[in-house]
Structure 1
Amino acid sequence: MDVIVSHVNLDFDGLASLLAAKKLHPDARVALTDKQHPTVKSFLAIYRDELAFSSYNDINWKEVQTLILVDVASLKRTGIPILDLPPNVQTIVYDHHSPKDGDLSGGERYIEPVGATVTFLVEKLCEYDMSITPFEATLYGLGLYTDTGNFTYQQTTERDLYIAAFLKQKKMDISLVDRFSEQTLSIEERQLFQTLFVNGQEYFDNGVTLFTTTHEQPSYQSGLATLTRRLMETTDSDAAISIVKMKEHVYVVARASSDRVDLRKLMDSLGGGGHAQAASATLKKHDLDTVFQKVQQCLPAIVQPALTAADLMATPVKFISTDHSIDEVQNQMYQYGHTGFPVVDEDEYLVGIISRRDVDKATHHGLGHAPVKAYMSNDPITLPTSASLEEIQSTMMKHNIGRIPILENDKMVGIISRSDVIAQLHKQDGETMNEIVKKMKRQLPPALYKLLFNIGTIADQKGVNIYLIGGIVRDILLHRSNEDIDIVIEGDGIAFANELAIQLGGKVKSHEKFGTATWKTTENVKIDIVTCRTEYYEAPAALPNVRASNIREDLRRRDFTINAMAIQINKSHFGTLLDFFQGQEDMKQQKIRILHTLSFIEDPTRIIRGVRFALRFNYQLAEQTYKLAIDAAPMLQQVSSKRLLREIELLLKEGSIIDGIQMLDNIGVWSYLIGLKTNVLTAKLTDIVKLKDPFLIFLALAYDHADWETIIQPYALTSQHRTMIQQLGIMQHIDTENLSYLSSIHQQFQPYQDEIVFIYAVLANKRHLLTYLEKRKQLPILLTGSDLIKKGLHPGPAFSDILNQLTCLQLDGEIQTKDEAFQWLDSVKNKSQTF
């Protein structure tokens, strides 16, 4: 016999999961606990006949062969008589809670990180193409809506939202979901609520308010989860914890509304489970005071440290002095993309703030030459490094300001802008530090992983923040191999590279102009070390000007979001992922997205680079990115031929150049670079790309144009390419159609290199020239210069004429063996007196 069960104090996710599991295991019986959430009891009072579930008392547990657990992974939390189960019982688990001690470790386990267990059970029903009735859809919806808090809980995923839409298509009754998801309290529940409210006390920890309450009563009463949530709402607390002894057992139920509260640590210590913001535990035959004291001891552990200004601020701070002119400030605002700057005096103490609005007003009145101190805002609002995120928000709203300088010992050490706060508030859950570390260990060779850890330790010694950046971060997340190590520090990159060489050995090659260095370890591992920097462009397509900066601005200057992530490797933060621009989300969506709208204007080669990454990862350019690429395509005309050829060379290495050429054509790139929209046969390009020369790509695309020699000239950067253009121009005037013999073709094309003849044959679609080249390559060498000397001939220009005549005869099939070649040579020698 197979039996499906869920947890005690059954909620709608458990009930809905029982129904879904029954459809997946139609021969199994569903056993229903008698301890149910009040709203579930109300629902079952009306719809029990629709479900036809059995009670625990109806099951002979000794006969169970397979036990199926839904919305729970612990036998203890099911409330079934565990001792009655046969020792060899098989188990299957469907759950969405994080694994914890006491969970089943054997058998089949399906644990999915979704908002409700019923979500992935419905996914399985869809996978097996099972029908879903309106009643089933409504019950599944009840489980989904209640366990995600109407999709407001942090554990809610896009999968939950998708299943909700699917259930609506299946006639889910929203009004019924609404009616049963919100409970009206009974008289007994109102009395218990009042008691818990009166008995409660508040606990404050670093800006977080926790409401704890206790009560003891002789009889069991359900609905404690609902009452606890209402206590949290009524007291306006960040979390509420109810500790109630009923009969012999103590029930601990907790609910939270703040991201800074993680209830799992508390419930793990009590042997319970749940989510970060909704969890519970049952302690059988425990004393209320003992449990309360244990809860009190655990309270500090459930409060996450507050985000402070020190965590959020940008540093070092870009500032201007009081004697700067308005015009100078305007220029710096353009360079760095800032909308304001702190103003400091000669001792670098903060004295004011100047905004873009201030600058615009002064400029409008023709006062660009005026000093900043005449137009700056005096008495700036500041905060200390210890200010919390909530305090920062409140200060910005109270004073209606967009940036706050952060002070320490009266000196400005950082600045926080409105965009920093918004980014934090809308920050999506990414991978945890532990998850990143696991991926690093899996992707990197052990010696390299250890080296990075040692580098981070040295960075801690020197008091600098250090990060792994670039493609290796992206590839670690994508499980792709990449050992091209780029490191950036918020400090002096060259000085830090030299420090690494002192402590770990190796050699350093520095590049003072860019503030970068390459450190080669004693094991010949090359690591590029860069100073955090920002950059601006004086003109479109120009090379950027570079300035020292911080990690956020260093990442902001990069090309695409998937390349703008960093992993901190300081020992205390090893494995912390920085993803300010939602690169992880774009990887999930398989999109290539630029960081800002002027990205292609500033560096048009990013268009080609974007196509390259799209091909490499089989991604698509994001819609706006694609449109901006089309708009910026004309700017590629301002890029040097050398840079363009380099980008096409990199595109060739991706191995999908034909697709890349087509994508660039759709964007309009070739119409600006070669003056027309391409119409190149795939077969023609297929042959050309085999030569791995980016110049030939341009040549192939331009060749059908009447003025191709002029178009292609700027891309001929070597003498070989210039010679190629010249010889191709000559070959165009050879009348190959009337050359019926291979020997006659040879007479015309013998002076040219095989590669150039091949290129001409492909571009001009002269297939018989390809036949000639193939035959020419296969010809055996029948006679050499030594053979001619042995025949008494004297070396000289005539030798090449003789051997060329022999080649012609071989091509036409008139001579095939060495003996025939000697006979021919003798006949030629006897007829001619010139040898």
Structure 2
Amino acid sequence: MQVVILSEGSDLDAFSSAYGLTLLYPSTFILLPNVLQYKVSKAISLFQDKIKDKILTKEGINFEKVDKVFVVDSQTVPDVNVPIEIFDHHPNKSLNYKGKNVKLNLYNVGSITTVIVEKIKKAKVNLDKEDATILSLGIYDDTGGFKFSGTTERDLKAFTFLTKSGLDFLKLQQVVSDTFDLEDVEVIKEIIKNAEPLPVEGKKVYISTLYRKYSKDVAWILKYIKPFEPADAYFLVVNQKSKKFIIGRSKDESIDVGKILSQLDGGGHKFAASTTIVGFSYDEIKTFLTFLTAKHQKPLTSFIKTDLPTVEADLSIEEVKSYLGRYRYVVVLQNGRYVGILNDKLINNAIKHGFSNEKAIVFAEELITVSPDVSFIQLLKMFSTYQTDIFPVVEKGYYKGVIYKKEFVSEISGIKEDKPIFLPISKPKTVNYLNRVKKFFPLEIFQTLKEVGEYAEKLGYRAFIIGGVVRDIVLNKENLDVDIIVEGSAVDLIKAYAKDKNFNFYVYPEFMTGVILLPNGLKLDFATARKEEYDSPGSYPKVEKANLFEDLYRRDFTINTLAIEITKSNFGKLIDYFNGLVDIKEKRIRILHSLSFVEDPIRILRALRFAGRLNFKLEKKTENLLIYAVERDLLNFAPTGRINLELNLTFKEENTFEILMLMDRYKVLYKLFAGLSIDQNKEKVLIKLQDSFLLLEKVLGIHFPKNSNYLYVLLGNYPEEITYNLLKKYHFEKEASYLNEFYTTLQSIKNTDSIFDIYKTLKSFNRQFLPALMSLLPEDKFKIVLEMLEKEKKPVLTGEDLIKLGLKPSKIFKDILEDVFVKYLQNSIKTKEEAISYVKKTHLKRLSNQPE
């Protein structure tokens, strides 16, 4: 048994030549790919009776019974352990079949079917009319009806032979002719409208997207897209619910779309390939394709580094520490095989707790590993899933190196220089803030800070409050989250002060930090002023005691770099190295260096949260770098758990609406939530949500979770499947679990005019999502539900009223009260007197006859 394996996106030439091999070798069958060109699908349908016995499915094939595999019109070698023979007419010098049982037959013809027909003619295989027609399809289509420049005399002779064998020209035209219906025309128009160049230097590379549903295979139509005609290569992204199907075509040997799309877990050959991708937006895909086309049409081996030290598994922890040197990590091996990773913190803690002599293998952490041929898309998914800076590369159990997340992100973003985006002040600005500090803090905390400053001076240190609390002192915004930096030893200062005052405290000498717990329940966080330097991405940071300036330079934004000294002799002196005061006065957010968003993409969200909270603007250079970071999809490299945390903080802000509008303006929502944007209707619904929070809290007297309601409103226009996947992606588990109930309730209320049905639906609904539900309802239904809630809060009749009528409490009370309440909602009953009268007429006689 022999099999012809067709590549993804195979065309008529591949199909016809495969069919020809089944005629040459009767024990040969065709294995179709998942994706075929439209014309191939037409041919299979037209000649179904002729070819049905020659086609196998992947489920119906047992490769243990296969003696040989053929590949036609492609040089992509399938992963099978049998001899492979390739027939192709595309030169490809980059392929290497060393170590594989592959025979390559390469011909200079316009169609590879021509070669197969020549072999059929030589073998004197009898062809009937349908055989000849099927074979003619590949030659005619791949030579463009003999108009393409690559057409040879051999193609013409092979086609003439088929003509003499009786090919059916009517069926040939039926398959190869391009006749357009209205659907085809609309699809072509949309692809042309969306076409745009990718910024690949020295090459013409285009991309477009299709949102419209199309009943046919779209690949056949791409040659009619005008912007694609002069392109060296082009890509089409087809939207399919939560997935996107990508087609790649190339006319340039240096642009191998097969290798490019293999990095996105796809397949194909140098000139035609495809893939399906989940969880990324069109803009993100553009970034990926630009990077891969320009730089990485091969496995990402250039990112594998071998600089980390390695140790044997039976070494003691004490011995391993000596290998760390300037590195943060050490790789543990056993007989050359990978065991795990030890980091500096783990080693120091193990020694601290008395495990110096324990073997390295005991504590080695099995970090998630990757193989040397890990794809681009696999790395992206891992970066957003696992909160680690390094990914060990392991092949068949053996350690090959590591991939550093920061280096990878920096390369894709194109930001490599780590320079200040402004010149820090050589001599810091100082301002006397004593009176403002005294007014800002409660007396007890103020006195505590003075005492800490006195102890610092006794020890010969300097101490400062820094960061957000200083920013809020300047802005006069309440904040009792106090961080103290010590030029000296924070640990020694904590011990001296807390022991003297008999306060509870915790110190972490290895990190030079600690905490003092005050009797009033507040805490003071201490840290030694320090700086960190990295010789390479995996090197151990040189953590050294430093001065205030060096410590502050590690911060995120200039508005968070202010410090107020609390040392006794300088108590209340505000120190500003980075023009933070000016930035606060000018109401702007400014990062400290150009790699800030690359080092930590979460700063993108933080910058907009601070801007929205404080009503600040982004400084121009910072804005440009943020826009660039968003466009380069750096948020893909942020752990989704940290994105969850930052979004939750956003939803808790007073100015959530303003922050969300900024996130929309800078396309952050678009990147995080699959193309989400806030149009005028969405803006109105968000404003309505804010009003709903206030209104419902007043009516019902309860507080509602902000995150759940904002998420349901933001994603309210998406299909349930997409919303569910997005909520799960960012770990909003509760919201995902209630999503079906929310969508079902929303649609039920929208689709009924019955007060009773609305009431019954609302009775079983989880009330914590009411603000979002009401915000998404049309105005008439909003008023109905609000009135229902108001009346429910103050019902016209209660169980006590029924008891006063002489009725005995029972399960039927619920039915009576519900009946009365629905009449009350329908305005059939308006007063308590009318309700009592209604109960007497309708229920009293029946209830008075209840058995004892």
- TM-score tier by shorter-chain length is 0.3 to 0.5
Q: Normalized against structure 2, the TM-score is what? A: 0.44
Larger Rg: 1
Structure with the larger RCO, 1 or 2 (CA within 8 Å, 6+ apart): 2
Q: Normalized against structure 1, the TM-score is what? A: 0.44
